[in-house]
Structure 1
Amino acid sequence: MMAPSRPFSLKPDLTSYELPLNEKTRNFLRLEQFFSEIQKGIDEKSCDSARMALIQMIELCDFIQRVDIKKDLIQELEIIISSFKQLSGNPNVDSKSLTKLLSEMNEGLNFLRIRDYQPGNLLQKDELAIQVRHRLGISGGACHFDIPRLYYWINKSEVERTTQLNEWMEDLRPILWANKLILRVVRESGQASNATATNGFYQETLNTNAKYYLLRIHLPKEGSIFPEISGGKHRFTIRFYMHSSTKLKPQKSDENIEFFVEHCGITS
């Protein structure tokens, strides 16, 4: 089934940097960021966090429509299901757990395939959300004096705000579920290896026969080094920089730096 998480990836003293290697993965990571910020806004339960959660939901819905994320999620789920089916009969795999997981994935996939399912439709038809969306194109345009109705809503009780936010989230949850599953499978597919950047520079040519989605670079949190990663499906480079202060430009490192690198993908 899913590859087990490597111990080092769970250590709190490591920071993981990621580079998507195709447009789909780039959009999946952006989707993940949207959902993370929305959930934080819901969990914090304050007036300001509710306002920010609503704005993030509106921007998320616009993003979903613009890039047709539903189609991309369906395609990747089909690949994952096909890959997992090949594990049937493997003595190292719990057949009951695999059957249950495949059933859940097929159920989720079938829901996404429903023609009438349009993620974010609830929010897009909501009059308050429509009013807020019209003001978002103006810098600072969603102030309390611009949209009194928004100010009224965020000052309702915590229970009412949270209930409304969760209602708006309802038809976005299938997208959230699919995106979390895909990124989990991609990340857990990686095999970690040690690498060394000579004089702060590292370059690698990728195996063109492999279908890589994501690169993950793991560095200790201690110290002042961070990577800038660039590349595509054929090769990638990493340049390491030293951070001293936000007031100053980072300086290129000329040290030999050891780190972990993971090449992540889904095999169909």
Structure 2
Amino acid sequence: MLDALRHNPGTFVQQLPVTPVSAEALDAICFEQPLNERVRTFLRLEFLFGQHAHHRQDRSQYGLRARLQTLLDTLTVLSRSDLKKDILKELLEQHGHLTRLSARPGVDQERLGSVLRELTAAVNGLQHLVTQFAGSALRDNEFLISIHNRTSIPGGSCGFDLPAYHFWLSQPYEVVNRDLDAWFADLAPFESAIGLYLKLLRGSTELTAAVARGGLYVHAPQGPVQLLRVFVPHAAAAYPEISAGAHRFTIRFVSLRDVNRRSSQVHTDVPFSIQCCSL
């Protein structure tokens, strides 16, 4: 969508704010396939942020354990590379593109301004973070390190293994929740920035109808693709296995009618919808 806006600003009035296609509205299941490592990492983090938001509603000790585990997983992903630099670069590029677009006639300035304000807020939030803060959190906090080191062992964080953890979980909910919120505070700017970037990416192109003849679909995109989104109707009773390369991708539809039996390829035509997203 953003590419289209750069060449045809008149479409801006109809297409902003960006609203990614809803799988629920299509009565379909959305399957996403990242086509580069950066988007792959962003999708993993989005998944972890979603888990954290879900577990935050659970005040039980198991809910608190799940919430802390999600926090540790998120810090681990963030500590593996300089994602702050990566996401800042992506957001600043989009901010620059849209700022230049604002000088063109026929652009809805109110809607454009709303997106630019979101981008500015996300960039400012990230710029206030210390670089590699995630690695520091896992390295400098002895309490978190002790739990993190046991997570690879099945059941390794139970009470007799980590009495300090067991004691902390036994404190009033307000005390535990305060600590968890404090640890998550530095992650909130990443959650906002990555959520905004993925929203722009998912809204970058229109949905296209397609048919997998005999359960197989091969496509050669016209340009680079960062994220492939496949919407499969519930009635199809199948899921896609996606194999993607630099110049083409293949989607093979597979039926899974019984999880206790081996899945098999579908040999009938499967109608679906597809998005080849890129910024």
TM-score, length of structure 2 as denominator length: 0.86
2:27 aligns with 13
* Residue of structure 2 aligned with 1:250, choices 256, 260, 263: 263
**Closer/same/farther in 2, CA of residues 54 and 90 from structure 1, 3 Å limit:** same
The code of the aligned residue for 2:146 comes to Q
Whether the 8 Å contact between 1:205 and 1:236 is mirrored in structure 2 is yes
Aligned residue number for residue 265 of structure 1: 278
**Equivalence map 1:1-268=2 (5 Å):** 2=16, 4-5=18-19, 9-11=23-25, 13-90=27-104, 92-113=106-127, 116-120=130-134, 121-122=136-137, 124-207=139-222, 210-266=223-279
Does structure 2 retain, via aligned residues, the 8 Å contact 1:48–1:154? Answer: no
Distance 2:147 2:260 in 1: 35
Q: CA RMSD in A?
A: 2.2
Count residues in correspondence. 264
1:90 Cα deviation from its structure 2 partner: 4.6
- State the shift of 1:255 in Å: 0.3
Q: Secondary structure at the match of 1:17?
A: strand
Normalising by structure 1, report the TM-score.
0.89
Q: Distance in 2 between matches of 1:171 and 1:149?
A: 24
Indicate the SS of the match to 2:57: helix
Does the aligned pair in 2 maintain the 1:201–1:237 contact within 8 Å? yes
Identity %: 30
Deviation at 1:92, TM superposition (A): 5.0
Report the alpha carbon displacement of residue 211 of structure 1 after superposing the two structures with TM.
3.4
Measured in 2, the distance between the counterparts of 1:73 and 1:171 equals 15
CA contact (8 A) 1:122 1:171 kept: no
Letter of the 1:22 partner, please give it. Answer: N
Q: Distance in 2 between matches of 1:172 and 1:137?
A: 23
Q: What displacement does 1:33 show?
A: 1.1
Deviation for aligned residue 1:71: 1.8
Shift of 1:144: 1.4
Higher mean C-alpha deviation, range 94-103 or range 190-199: 94-103
* Change beyond 3 A, Cα 1:141–1:8: closer
Structure 2: runs of 5+ lacking an equivalent: 1-11
In 1, Cα distance between equivalents of 2:188 and 2:68: 15
Contact 2:217 2:250 in 1 (8 A): yes
The structure-2 alpha-carbon separation of the partners of 1:119 and 1:222, relative to structure 1 and needing over 3 Å to count, comes to farther
Counterpart amino acid of 1:198? R
Q: Which runs of 5+ in 1 are unaligned?
A: none
